[in-house]
Structure 1
Amino acid sequence: MREGDLTEFYSLLGRLGSPRRLFGATGRDGWPTHGVYFFFEDGELRADGTPRVVRVGTHGLAITSRTRLWQRLAQHRGTLKGGGNHRASIFRRHVGTALISRDHPPGPLLDAWTGARRLPEWAAAESAIEREVSDHIGRMPFRWLSVPTGADGTSLRGAIERNSIALLSNLRGAPDRPSRTWLGHHALSDKVRASGLWNVNHVDEDYDPAFLESFRALADG
């Protein structure tokens, strides 16, 4: 069943149009107000040679939240000059830990990066990592599904995000494994490494195949 559902999932993603990259993207590019996004990564392929999803995310799940899709994407992208704030983006945090673990000696830089606040003595080093993270995420293709909020403040964004992650996770039996050179192998989080995704929430959960019906209706809407 999972392989059939994965085939359906990727077929639906293909209906969402050509992927974009965050490099050069701005808030004036016609984004829907609300949605779920799906990142790919160069060199990360499914068994059939097509790109595999490596990150699923959304925004504004609280009824009181006013966060829009572009605002969340912009947090992941960082500034147009290459900076960013990984303490406002868990995606940036994970990518940063992988870059540090791969390219730097273990120890204080990783501790500083994962700390709750920036330490003045590590500000310059953190800024350099932020630029590397912006470069890496900015080059990652992504698609998005418009998922509006209802008049009562509820939406399907959380369900689509949660079930997509659970469907794609290697921890739950998904067959599409990361390449040997995938940056995520160096991530600090064991859930990132084991799931093959830049996600930690929902990677060890079961999925409900019924979510694909909602996905299909929104993709065709």
Structure 2
Amino acid sequence: MSDPTPIRVLLVDDQELIRAGFSMILEIEDHIEVVGEARDGDEAQRQVAALSPDVVLMDVQMPGTDGIAATERIVAEHPDTRVLILTTFDDDEYLFAALQAGASGFLLKNCPPEDLVSAIGLAAQGHGLLAPEVTRRVIARSTGRARHDATVLDDLTDRERDVLRALARGLSNAEIAAEMYVSSATVKSHVSRILTKLGARDRVQAVIVAFESGLMDD
């Protein structure tokens, strides 16, 4: 039986020491391969086009084209590549800009190495994620904030709305299943239908809709 194809990762950060540190963490993982590095947003876009990575670890503040602008372009031009934002800047403006740009997740650079490895695996599978402290800030920031009309939720069943609320609270499929007394497979089916109905590319985008449509204000 052959080994599974490793997850191809591109590292984007203007500091060489940071890139080297992430490389050391990731290269000991059998299922992850660091295929390239970039020092700014423009170089990141060229590298994505040339290397077709599965996941990009993207810094936010860099000279020239920053991580937010690069993320938006990469997501638009390479929909199969997922972008994880990694930053030292614990700032709501960066957070919401990154999520609106289409990032699949947002982690702080001081997160434990195992969380970084886990996040890459989830992103490669098409799952979005937010660090717990980030989810709490999304909830706090989004109170009374509505940019999506509430009618965007009209096609959701009551159970799908419940699942979406749970997603927006940061619960995993297994946690939602335990809370609702259903199987994880059932939750996975609900999540898939929610994404399709909302036109969301992943869980993170669905969570944004949940907050901005006022669902979490109920």
TM-score, normalising length from structure 1? 0.29
Q: Where is the strand percentage greater, Structure 1 or Structure 2? A: 2
The structure whose RCO (Cα within 8 Å, separation 6+) is larger is 1
Q: Where is the helix percentage greater, Structure 1 or Structure 2? A: 2
